[in-house]
Amino acid sequence: MSPLLQVGLEFDYEYTVPKQALVPEMYDVPSARDMPPVLSTGYMVGIMEFACLEATKPYLDWPREQSLGTLVQFSHLAATPAGMKIKVQGKLVEMQGKRLRFEVKAWDEQDQITEGIHERVVIDAERFQTKIAAKLNSTSPKEQR
Annotated active-site residue in 25, 65, 76, 103: 76
pLDDT digits (tens, 9 = 90+) for 36-45: 889 999 999 9
Say if residue 144's pLDDT is above 60: no
Asked if omega into 63 is within 30° of 0 (cis), the reply is yes
The alpha helices in 1-145, defined as continuous H runs, are 23-26, 41-56, 125-136
Q: Is 41 considered catalytic here?
A: yes
Say if residue 145's pLDDT is above 60: no
pTM over 0.85: yes
Say if residue 89's pLDDT is above 60: yes
Say if residue 143's pLDDT is above 80: no
Count Cβ neighbours within 10 Å for each residue of 39-62 and write b for 16 or more, e otherwise: bbeebbbebbbebbbebbeebbee
Annotated active-site residue in 49, 114, 118, 119: 49
Contact, 39 vs 20, CB < 8 A? no
Does 145 or 82 have the greater pLDDT score? 82
Helix (H, G, I), strand (E, B) or coil at 67: strand
In this structure, are strands 99-107 and 85-96 parallel, antiparallel, or unpaired? antiparallel
Confidence of residue 139 (pLDDT cuts 50, 70, 90): low
Q: Classify residue 78 by burial, with Cβ atoms within 10 Å: 0-12, 13-18, 19+.
A: middle
DSSP E strands, the chain: 10-16, 65-76, 85-96, 99-107, 112-124
User: How much is the pLDDT for 60?
Assistant: 96
Q: Is 49 considered catalytic here?
A: yes
Annotated active-site residue in 41, 65, 103, 115: 41
Q: Is 118 considered catalytic here?
A: no
Confidence of residue 1 (pLDDT cuts 50, 70, 90): confident
